[in-house]
A and B are shown apart, each in its own frame.
Chain A
Amino acid sequence: MSQAFVSMRSVSKTYHSGRARVGALREVSLEIEKGEFVRLGGPSGSGKTTLLNLVAGLDRPDRGEVFVAGIDVGRLSGSRASKYRAEQVGMVFQSYNLIPQLTALENVLLPMLALGRTNEGRARELLDLVGLADRSDHIPSQLSGGEQQRVAIARALANDPALVLADEPTGNLDEQSAERVMGLLTSAVRERGRTLLLVTHDRDTAQTSDKCLEVRGGVVTSVAG
């Protein structure tokens, strides 16, 4: 029996806030094939980011299993989870999370540094891909929000990961920048045949995605594109 590239089986996750228990995900099961572009929508606080963090190995499910490329992500130890993220996952965050004291080029080199194999030529190629070849020596504070997110996309692709996870990458951008960033992200991922799991409120992406999922109250449903 062939297994999907990303597979979640009956995954539940609850957060504790003081005495209150907040159910982020409830019995979530989904499958994403390799090379698929999946859009994950839903209202704020519905569990989208939690789902993304579980797939990235940044968090562990309370119940259920999360498999990515045959790896049981939910049961990885700290160092194995780090290796998994460095080799298999590229992440794009809403607030970019660039290191402020590093230049754009150095930020792109960081994931390579995690694997101990920096390639400045490849980092420059990626910056060229996102249209920032001439801004490689600029630090994040010298770049606009859109430019910073493009650096973050280049960084996410640095180790040529099989899976790219993007958490509302256009959430902090104006319409024009958002459009450009989204175009860059989807085209870069599709050109490389990589899998993209995109959390977004942008309904336009539904037209370009292979699959649309909706998270409401911790429950994932499939919706028409």
Chain B
Amino acid sequence: MIWSKLTFGGFGRRFVEAIAAATILAATSAAVAASLMVVEGARTTLTRAISQDRPDIVQIKSRFNRALFETPRSGNLPPLTIPVYEPLINPVELERAAGSNQVVKRQSLFRNVVTGDSFLNIYVFGIDPDAERGLSSFSLARGRFLRREDRAVAVLDQASARTLGVDVGGSFPIRKADGNDLQLTVVGILDRLELRGAPPRSAEAPSLRPDSTFVSSGAFVNIHTSEDIFGRESLTDALVIARSAAAVPDLVAKLQEAFRLEPGIFVTERYSQYQRKVRDFVLTLALFSAVSIATVLLAGSYASNLLHDIYVERRRQYATLIALGFPPGMGVAPAVIFGLVLGLAAVAIGGLAALAFVPRTFAMPSLMANLGPTEPTFDWAVACCLVAIAIAAMSVGLASTLARLLREPVAATLSEASP
């Protein structure tokens, strides 16, 4: 009871100043928390961009042919105009240009498949199963995934399997380049897949998620099988994984140099876009950090000044405690506890206000054009900053009183005229 009275009692008219200091600290905390939440949200967006965009990946793709169409063996369907890459990339040339960077080869082709009464236009992807699983996401509903040593086996998405009327163990024919059919045995059914850097959107077969570059349906075979179907080794597209994102510009230059005489091959990278996002993040960080720092300096110093007035008036109390035999640390403990309780309560209120009123998504188009909308996030970093503000305000407010008590004789304070 005595300690609580020593800490929180007897403020008199200074109580109003304590409330004012707490209010200012709460408002400061709210502004700082809101700014830092935007920065944290932007950081999360950037982290997501790194994991999703994979700026370290360079894509090589052939031009796609919009005039390609397949005529079904039966029925009277109109010709299709569907984009499919042409197989123009020489894999040996690509390996040489990529150097020590990992090359993930692909052949994508479009086929119409007739099984019994069913007819389906389907993309067939020839992939390197081991390398591709590190880049794209395949979730099996049943069966198994492809293996490098497989021959004439396929993995299908559920919708395609249902349309073709096949399941694990079943088979369906694919027309090869030489005009013969190759029977592909289904070894696995996918319930979800996300293929990184897939061919462009088409109307019929590969359904894409909105705003996504991922193909979400198709038949997957390993690249040896697709070579059998295609009748050649040249690739339609490929991904080259740079050793680091920073190595991308050099890698792109080498690839462009290697294929400079082939106008139908394009080298695309996401590194530049990623760099713009980094720049956006840095700008966001700078702007909102500046807002935070300015707010802390202006409002925080005012709150500290109010606390200083309170502490100065109570200096005699702290000195009396020391004179009565309390260790100096215990003598000033009520001041420290009072400041911390006041400051922490204020920043807690400010933090809650920020959580309640900050918009769920935040965007400044002119500034964050590439970063897009960010979701302000309250995390431990923000909480630690708020606690630091409370401690800083208390420390700055208490500093002169503490210095006076600990550096000058306590007797000098006790001899001062009563306030």
Residue positions of A touching B, CB distance < 8 A: 49-50, 53, 56, 58-59, 78-79, 82-87, 89, 91, 93, 95, 97, 99-102, 106, 109-111, 113-115, 155, 159
> Shortest distance in angstroms between A129's beta carbon and chain B's nearest beta carbon?
19
- Tell whether A115 pairs with B325 under 8 Å between CB atoms, given A49-B415, A58-B409, A59-B411: yes
| Complex contacts, A85 vs chain B, CB 8 Å | 323-325
**Assembled-state Cα–Cα distance A85/B410 (Å):** 13
Chain A proximity mask over B4-20: 1 for CB below 8 Å, otherwise 0: 01100110000000000
**Assembled-state Cα–Cα distance A85/B323 (Å):** 7
| Complex contacts, B328 vs chain A, CB 8 Å | 78-79, 82
Chain A proximity mask over B64-82: 1 for CB below 8 Å, otherwise 0: 0000000000000000000
A101 touches B324 (CB 8 A): no
A-B contact count (CB 8 A): 79
Using CB atoms, name the residue of chain B closest to A111. B324
| Complex contacts, A111 vs chain B, CB 8 Å | 324-325
A114 touches B325 (CB 8 A): yes
Residue positions of B touching A, CB distance < 8 A: 1-2, 5-6, 9-10, 316-317, 320-328, 330, 409-411, 414-415, 417-418
- Tell whether A82 pairs with B10 under 8 Å between CB atoms, given A59-B409, A97-B316: no
B325 touches A86 (CB 8 A): yes
B2 touches A109 (CB 8 A): yes
**Assembled-state Cα–Cα distance A107/B245 (Å):** 70
Of the residues A59, A82, A100, A159, contact of B327 by C-beta under 8 Å: A82
> Shortest distance in angstroms between A140's beta carbon and chain B's nearest beta carbon?
10
B2 touches A110 (CB 8 A): yes
| Complex contacts, B316 vs chain A, CB 8 Å | 97
For the A-B complex with A82-B328, A114-B325 known, give 11 more contacts whose Cβ atoms are closer than 8 Å: A59-B409, A78-B327, A85-B323, A91-B323, A97-B320, A99-B317, A99-B320, A99-B321, A100-B317, A101-B6, A102-B9
A106 touches B5 (CB 8 A): yes
B323 touches A101 (CB 8 A): no
- Tell whether A91 pairs with B324 under 8 Å between CB atoms, given A58-B409, A58-B411, A59-B409: yes
| Complex contacts, A58 vs chain B, CB 8 Å | 323, 409-411, 414
- Summarize A's interface: helix, strand, loop or mixed: helix
**Assembled-state Cα–Cα distance A53/B415 (Å):** 11
A86 touches B410 (CB 8 A): no
| Complex contacts, A114 vs chain B, CB 8 Å | 321, 324-326, 330
**Assembled-state Cα–Cα distance A114/B333 (Å):** 13
Please list 14 pairs of residues, one from A and one from B, whose beta carbons are closer than 8 Å in the complex, sorted by A's number: A49-B411, A50-B411, A78-B327, A85-B324, A86-B326, A93-B414, A99-B10, A99-B317, A101-B9, A102-B6, A109-B2, A111-B325, A113-B326, A114-B330
**Assembled-state Cα–Cα distance A159/B324 (Å):** 10
Nearest 3 interchain pairs by C-beta: A86-B325, A101-B10, A101-B9
Of the residues A78, A97, A106, A109, contact of B414 by C-beta under 8 Å: A97
**Assembled-state Cα–Cα distance A109/B317 (Å):** 15
**Assembled-state Cα–Cα distance A53/B410 (Å):** 9
**Assembled-state Cα–Cα distance A132/B10 (Å):** 22
A100 touches B323 (CB 8 A): no
Using CB atoms, name the residue of chain B closest to A99. B317
Using CB atoms, name the residue of chain B closest to A49. B415
> Shortest distance in angstroms between A87's beta carbon and chain B's nearest beta carbon?
7
| Complex contacts, A102 vs chain B, CB 8 Å | 2, 5-6, 9
| Complex contacts, B321 vs chain A, CB 8 Å | 99, 110, 114
**Assembled-state Cα–Cα distance A85/B325 (Å):** 5
Of the residues A49, A87, A99, A106, contact of B325 by C-beta under 8 Å: A87
| Complex contacts, A110 vs chain B, CB 8 Å | 2, 321, 324
> Which residue among B2, B316, B325, B409 has the maximum number of chain A CB atoms within 10 Å of its CB?
B325
| Complex contacts, B10 vs chain A, CB 8 Å | 99-101
**Assembled-state Cα–Cα distance A95/B417 (Å):** 8
B327 touches A79 (CB 8 A): yes
**Assembled-state Cα–Cα distance A95/B10 (Å):** 18
**Assembled-state Cα–Cα distance A82/B406 (Å):** 13
B2 touches A113 (CB 8 A): yes
- Tell whether A82 pairs with B409 under 8 Å between CB atoms, given A99-B6, A101-B5, A102-B5: no
> Which residue among A79, A84, A110 has the maximum number of chain B CB atoms within 10 Å of its CB?
A110
**Assembled-state Cα–Cα distance A79/B326 (Å):** 8
**Assembled-state Cα–Cα distance A113/B417 (Å):** 26
**Assembled-state Cα–Cα distance A50/B330 (Å):** 25
